[in-house]
């Protein structure tokens, strides 16, 4: 590893970061990070103790007070520098990232570049932080002219940012950059599988000038997660992960403000007037990119009966064309990467077996070998099958035939999730009206479900999340309003 990252590890043993220093745990306990590609050792991370976490939060609390006093344009300059350093060190980060989470080289690289763009764009949003407002009581009926409200914004304090394995750079950046610009300090908890990549990102911000305002903790979520989210010095939690864990955070966090991006069962509604070539292309990419391990992956298709037969032929053909080469994601020829752990392959197998026993038909794929799984298309799926409702987080695409648009709406809204969705129709006006009826946070028209671009609002409803993200909205969520009332 280059001199740039030399401080974050000793002989491939990665440290935690607190008070501007990279530190080894006094426990001596380490967690091995092995690559999903071939089970080779990528490195070891610290299994931190509770007293060390206390120290991290204490340092973050002190650092936040100093960071908030730094001029806003200077904080923005730190972000600009971080974006620059991220681009300069992309190849080294990319090598570790691909090993650690088994993401295809091209996709992993574009995600890092997108992350640098997010940091840059965030740095330009100083007006969101500076925004102030004055209200007068005379404007309210019976209010008179005796009161003036001076409404200002303040940072919430210490933000706990918890990112997932599938986007250890991107979904950490969407938390870190808005928090720092707003004047908060950030304690970053990376995913266990993805912690090394996250540590490298934290060093980017450290070298850019954030120093003590950013911290990094490591350890298994099952062991330190509850302690982190319930910590008295954690003033806000920004979490991306499963709905199950998100619900647990809500119970244990107390009255902390929360931003939660949770699970999804995003549906693609294909109407009888859709451009089927476009729909098949977008659906296949939406379902199988990064082996379906994305919250916003297309996880089911609701197809109108009149176009069903033509659609499934195009989907099956496109799947075999674009996602049939399963293998090592470091090889540019590889189209489909392995799953993050073997257990996910076992779960996917259970869902497929249940569907087949209930009458589903395999149109493509279906073979699983530990965490290496073929892109699988299932037809004849009904609402009685588990795959119709459970979030697979694997390359399985179930297709459900619908009589009409009313049935599509019913099946869509029956889900416990409400993150994203897509409507494919050549009648955009009709699609927009239909979108209003879907119980979900974001609806794409004639495009796969996705979070991009990051200056748009992004949210989930029901079991898919809490709060609104997107750069401007994240900054606002990480500040609290104070009302100073002047009486005359």
Regarding whether 435 and 373 lie in a shared domain, the answer is: yes
Residue 459 domain-assigned (yes or no): no
| Domain presence at residue 158 | yes
Residue 408 in domain: yes
Read off the tokens for 454: 């990051």
68 and 211, same domain (yes or no): yes
Number of domains, the chain: 2
Q: How far apart are CA 375 and CA 394, in angstroms?
A: 9
Answer whether 333's CB lies under 8 Å from 41's CB.
no
- CB of 236 within 8 A of CB of 159? yes
Check whether residue 244 and residue 306 sit in a common domain: no
My answer on whether 134 and 33 are in the same domain is yes
Question: Which of left, alpha, beta for 451 (phi over 0: left; psi -120 to 50: alpha)?
Answer: alpha
* 375, 427: one domain: yes
Q: Contact, 263 vs 417, CB < 8 A?
A: yes
**Please, which residues have CB within 8 angstroms of residue 37's CB and are 6 or more apart in sequence?**
99, 102, 328, 329, 330, 338
> Are the C-beta atoms of 59 and 19 separated by less than 8 Å?
yes
Residue 240 forms part of a structural domain = yes
Burial of 106 (0-12, 13-18, 19+ CB in 10 A): exposed
Q: Digits of tens for pLDDT over the chain (488 positions)?
A: 789 999 999 999 999 999 999 999 999 999 999 999 999 999 999 999 999 999 999 999 999 999 999 999 999 999 999 999 999 999 999 999 999 999 999 999 999 999 999 999 999 999 999 988 999 898 889 867 789 999 999 999 999 999 999 999 999 999 999 999 999 999 999 999 999 999 999 999 999 999 899 999 999 998 999 999 999 999 999 999 999 999 999 999 999 999 999 999 999 999 999 999 999 999 999 999 999 999 999 999 999 999 999 999 999 999 999 999 999 999 989 999 999 999 999 999 999 999 999 999 999 999 999 999 999 999 999 999 999 999 999 999 999 999 999 999 999 999 999 999 999 999 999 999 999 999 999 999 999 999 989 999 999 999 999 999 999 999 999 999 999 999 98
Find all residues with CB under 8 Å of 410, minimum gap 6, and list them. Answer: none
For residue 297, the SS3 value is: coil
Closest CA to 453 of 208, 229, 122, 204: 122
Please give the distance of CA 141 from its chain centroid, rounded to a whole number: 45
* 86 and 211 co-located in one domain: yes
- Considering 295, 402, 405, 450, which one is annotated as catalytic? 295
Q: Is 295 in the active site? A: yes
In a domain, 458, yes or no: no
Rounded Cα distance, 175 and 202, in Å: 12
**3-class secondary structure, 183:** coil
Q: Look up residue 285 and give its two tokens.
A: 């990419």
Q: Give domain status of residue 103, yes or no.
A: yes
Measured in whole angstroms, the distance separating CA 268 from the mean position of its chain's CA atoms is 20
Do 474 and 404 share a structural domain?
no
Q: Give 17's strand partners.
A: 22, 216
Q: Is residue 460 part of a domain?
A: no
217 shares a domain with 113: yes
In a domain? residue 462:
no
Instruction: Kindly provide the residue ranges of all beta strands, DSSP E only, lying in 95-253, ordered along the sequence.
Output: 133-136, 147-155, 158-162, 185-189, 214-217, 236-240
191 in the same domain as 212 = yes
- Mention every residue, 6+ apart, whose C-beta is less than 8 A from residue 164: 171, 191, 194, 240, 241
Looking at the structure, do residues 272 and 258 belong to the same domain, yes or no?
no
Do 340 and 397 belong to one domain? yes
Candidate list 52, 203, 261, 405, residue with the active-site label: 261
Range of the domain at 53: 3-262+467-485
- Residue 221's domain is classified under what CATH number? 3.40.605.10
Q: Which residue has the tokens 């129709």?
A: 425
Same domain, yes or no: 59 and 111: yes
Give the CATH number for residue 397.
3.40.309.10
Pairing label, strands 147-155, 133-136? antiparallel
pLDDT at 431: 98
């Amino acid at each position: 590893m280059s001199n740039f990252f030399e401080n974050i590890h000793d002989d491939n043993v990665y440290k935690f970061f607190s008070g501007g220093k990279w530190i080894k745990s006094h426990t001596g306990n380490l967690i091995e990070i092995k690559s999903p590609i071939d089970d080779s050792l990528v490195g070891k991370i610290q299994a931190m103790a509770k007293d060390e976490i206390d120290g991290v939060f204490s340092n973050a609390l002190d650092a936040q007070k100093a960071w908030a006093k730094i001029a806003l344009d200077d904080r923005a300059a730190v972000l600009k520098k971080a974006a620059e350093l991220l681009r300069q060190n992309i190849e080294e980060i990319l090598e570790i990232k691909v090993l650690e989470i088994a993401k295809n080289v091209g996709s992993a690289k574009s995600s890092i570049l997108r992350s640098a763009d997010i940091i840059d764009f965030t740095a330009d949003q100083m007006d969101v932080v500076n925004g102030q407002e004055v209200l007068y009581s005379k404007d309210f009926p019976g209010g008179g002219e005796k009161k003036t409200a001076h409404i200002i914004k303040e940072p919430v304090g210490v933000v706990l940012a918890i990112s997932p394995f599938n986007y250890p750079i991107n979904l950490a950046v969407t938390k870190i950059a808005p928090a720092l610009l707003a004047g908060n300090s950030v304690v970053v908890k990376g995913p266990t599988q993805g912690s090394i990549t996250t540590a490298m990102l934290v060093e980017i911000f450290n070298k850019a000038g954030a120093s003590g305002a950013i911290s990094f903790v490591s350890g298994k979520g099952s062991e330190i997660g509850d302690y982190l989210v319930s910590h008295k010095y954690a003033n806000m939690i920004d979490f991306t992960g499963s709905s199950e864990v998100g619900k647990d955070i809500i119970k244990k966090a107390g009255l902390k403000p929360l931003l939660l991006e949770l699970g999804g069962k995003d549906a693609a509604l294909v109407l009888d007037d859709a451009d089927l070539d476009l729909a098949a292309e977008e659906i296949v990419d939406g379902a199988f990119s990064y082996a379906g391990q994305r919250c916003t992956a297309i996880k089911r298709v609701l197809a109108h009966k009149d176009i069903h037969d033509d659609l499934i032929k195009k989907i099956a053909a496109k799947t075999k064309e674009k996602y049939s080469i399963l293998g090592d994601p470091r090889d540019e020829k590889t189209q489909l990467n392995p799953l993050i752990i073997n257990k996910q392959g076992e779960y996917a197998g259970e869902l497929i077996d249940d569907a087949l026993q209930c009458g589903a038909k395999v149109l493509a794929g279906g073979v699983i070998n530990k965490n290496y799984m073929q892109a699988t298309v299932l037809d004849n799926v009904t609402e009685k099958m588990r795959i119709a409702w459970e979030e697979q987080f694997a390359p399985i695409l179930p297709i459900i035939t619908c009589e009409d648009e009313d049935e599509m709406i019913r099946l869509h809204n029956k889900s416990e999730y409400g993150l994203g969705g897509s409507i494919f129709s050549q009648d955009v006006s009709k699609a927009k009206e239909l979108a209003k009826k879907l119980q979900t946070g974001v609806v794409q028209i004639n495009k796969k479900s996705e979070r991009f671009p990051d200056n748009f609002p992004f949210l989930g409803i029901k079991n898919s999340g809490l709060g609104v993200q997107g750069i401007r909205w994240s900054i606002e969520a990480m500040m609290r309003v104070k009302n100073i009332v002047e009486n005359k």
